[in-house]
């Protein structure tokens, strides 16, 4: 039964006050920035707001997201990562993961008569980094089901490994946002009721903290996607091997997936980057690798590559819908958009503001 978002009175006041303060901050912030730029400043003072990654200013900053409003800590990283004692259940594809991970057998997965994705397990279960995402976004595990709480002496071994249900919720963190955190401290089930203010505010920062940047009320709605649920049949498949051998539309991205695009690392299991254009050119291929669409290596089958949540999404980016940038598609690069976040263009728009313009993200993989 979908539950409507409820805003209690104190929460309402908080939002209003927040809104006003943010507007003031916004105006004075602009003055401040101008002051810095004028008077001399650190190197990055003139950097565009849309850095590739700036998690403090995204909705993933649970301490600042007005819809979640974690209290008990000011730390940002802690809700996902820990420097010591991490959960290794999903291997290191969930880097230094500080949360209970969901049981991968919990899900109903995507199917279609047209679907050719291979999977050596035969079961298209979420894997690796996708399980990290789902540890919040399937709505089953509490936001504060952490392994290592902020500070010392707060190790919660019951949140190691895989599990179902909310996990061990920890009393040291509470959430005072309205609407999307339920009694078990998980995502509220059902659709999210974005307010009119949110719906009508035009902001290029849908992934970013709408309030802090634009002074709106509440962060922008993105129903129903914060809570994907355990039924993933209505979502693009994840944990799927790219069907290089069985579906011709992927021949282009498969051409040199395992040779040219390997990146870094000494562990022999590195992320690969996706582009349909070969040879790739700077104009159609983000130079900043954090902006690139990516395929994840199989931890079990060397040389096999998988599409996971983080193939398209970057949880640390303040860009729209937490999207990476398109890798460029012939014929799509002249849409008044620059593929580079730092390069301007006559229309004043950049890929960084509209990553999926022309469905370029979709078409970065699919030859459709």
C-alpha to C-alpha distances, 152 to 83, 161, 232, 298, 310, nearest whole angstrom: 12, 21, 37, 35, 31
d(CA 158, CA 253): 41
Q: Does 83 bind another protein (CB under 8 A)?
A: yes
Please give the angle made by the CA atoms of 268, 269 and 271, to the nearest 5 degrees: 125
In the bound state with another protein, the residue whose beta carbon lies nearer, of 140 and 296, is 296
In the bound state with another protein, the residue whose beta carbon lies nearer, of 87 and 252, is 87
d(CA 291, CA 260): 17
CB of 160 to another protein, least distance (A): 9
Q: Does 288 bind another protein (CB under 8 A)?
A: yes
Contact stretch for another protein (CB under 8 A) within 44-52, 137-145, 216-224, 360-368 = 44-52
One residue of 86, 136, 145, 228 binding another protein per CB under 8 A: 86
CA 30 to chain centre: 28
Q: Scanning residues 233 to 262, which ones bind another protein (CB under 8 A)?
A: none
Q: Does 266 bind another protein (CB under 8 A)?
A: yes
One residue of 7, 11, 33, 189 binding another protein per CB under 8 A: 33
* Helix, strand counts (H, E) of the chain: 7, 8
One residue of 1, 9, 43, 114 binding another protein per CB under 8 A: 43
* φ, ψ for residue 208, nearest 5 deg: -85, 175
Q: Does 150 bind another protein (CB under 8 A)?
A: yes
In the bound state with another protein, the residue whose beta carbon lies nearer, of 184 and 255, is 255
Long-range contacts of 267-275 (CB under 8 A, 24+ apart): 268/302, 269/297, 269/299, 269/302, 270/297, 271/295, 271/296, 271/297, 272/296, 272/297, 272/305, 273/327, 274/311, 274/327, 274/364, 274/365, 275/327, 275/328, 275/364
CB of 291 to another protein, least distance (A): 9
Contact stretch for another protein (CB under 8 A) within 89-97, 228-236, 249-257, 360-368 = 89-97
CA gyration radius, the chain: 21
CB of 280 to another protein, least distance (A): 8
Q: Does 269 bind another protein (CB under 8 A)?
A: yes
d(CA 209, CA 198): 12
Q: Does 270 bind another protein (CB under 8 A)?
A: yes
Q: Does 113 bind another protein (CB under 8 A)?
A: no
In the bound state with another protein, the residue whose beta carbon lies nearer, of 32 and 344, is 32
C-alpha to C-alpha distances, 255 to 13, 245, 261, 364, nearest whole angstrom: 56, 11, 10, 14
One residue of 57, 127, 192, 210 binding another protein per CB under 8 A: 57
Q: Scanning residues 301 to 330, which ones bind another protein (CB under 8 A)?
A: 316
Q: Scanning residues 197 to 226, which ones bind another protein (CB under 8 A)?
A: 212-213
Q: Does 1 bind another protein (CB under 8 A)?
A: no
């Amino acid at each position: 039964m979908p539950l409507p978002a409820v805003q209690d009175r104190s929460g309402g006041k908080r939002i209003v006050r927040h809104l006003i303060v943010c507007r003031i901050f916004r105006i004075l912030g602009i003055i401040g920035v101008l002051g810095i730029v004028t008077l001399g400043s650190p190197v990055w003072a003139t950097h565009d707001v849309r850095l590739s990654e700036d998690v403090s200013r995204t909705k993933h900053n649970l301490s600042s997201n007005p819809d979640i409003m974690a209290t008990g800590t000011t730390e940002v990283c802690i809700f996902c990562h820990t420097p010591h004692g991490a959960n290794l259940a999903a291997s290191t594809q969930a880097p230094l993961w500080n949360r209970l991970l969901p049981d991968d057998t919990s899900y109903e997965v995507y199917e279609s008569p047209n679907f050719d994705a291979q999977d050596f397990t035969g079961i298209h279960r979420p894997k690796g980094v996708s399980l990290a995402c789902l540890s919040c976004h399937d709505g089953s595990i509490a936001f504060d089901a952490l392994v290592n709480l902020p500070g010392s002496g707060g190790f919660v071994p019951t949140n190691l490994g895989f599990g179902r249900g909310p996990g061990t919720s920890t009393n040291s963190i509470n959430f005072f946002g309205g609407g999307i955190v339920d009694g078990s401290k998980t995502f509220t089930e059902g659709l999210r009721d974005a307010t009119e203010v949110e719906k009508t505010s035009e902001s290029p920062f849908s992934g970013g903290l709408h309030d802090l940047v634009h002074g709106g009320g509440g962060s922008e709605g993105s129903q129903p996607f914060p809570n994907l649920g355990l039924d993933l049949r209505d979502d693009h498949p994840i944990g799927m091997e790219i069907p290089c051998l069985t579906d011709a539309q992927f021949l282009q991205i498969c051409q040199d997936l395992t040779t040219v695009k390997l990146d870094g690392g000494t562990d022999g299991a590195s992320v690969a980057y996706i582009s349909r254009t070969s040879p790739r050119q700077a104009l159609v291929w983000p130079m900043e690798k954090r902006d690139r669409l990516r395929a994840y290596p199989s931890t079990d089958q060397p040389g096999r590559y998988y599409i996971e949540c983080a193939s398209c999404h970057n949880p640390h980016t303040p860009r729209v819908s937490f999207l990476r940038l398109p890798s460029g598609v012939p014929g799509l690069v002249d849409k008044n958009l620059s593929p580079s976040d730092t390069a301007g263009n006559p229309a004043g728009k950049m890929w960084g503001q509209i990553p999926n313009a022309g469905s370029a993200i979709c078409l970065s993989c699919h030859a459709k």
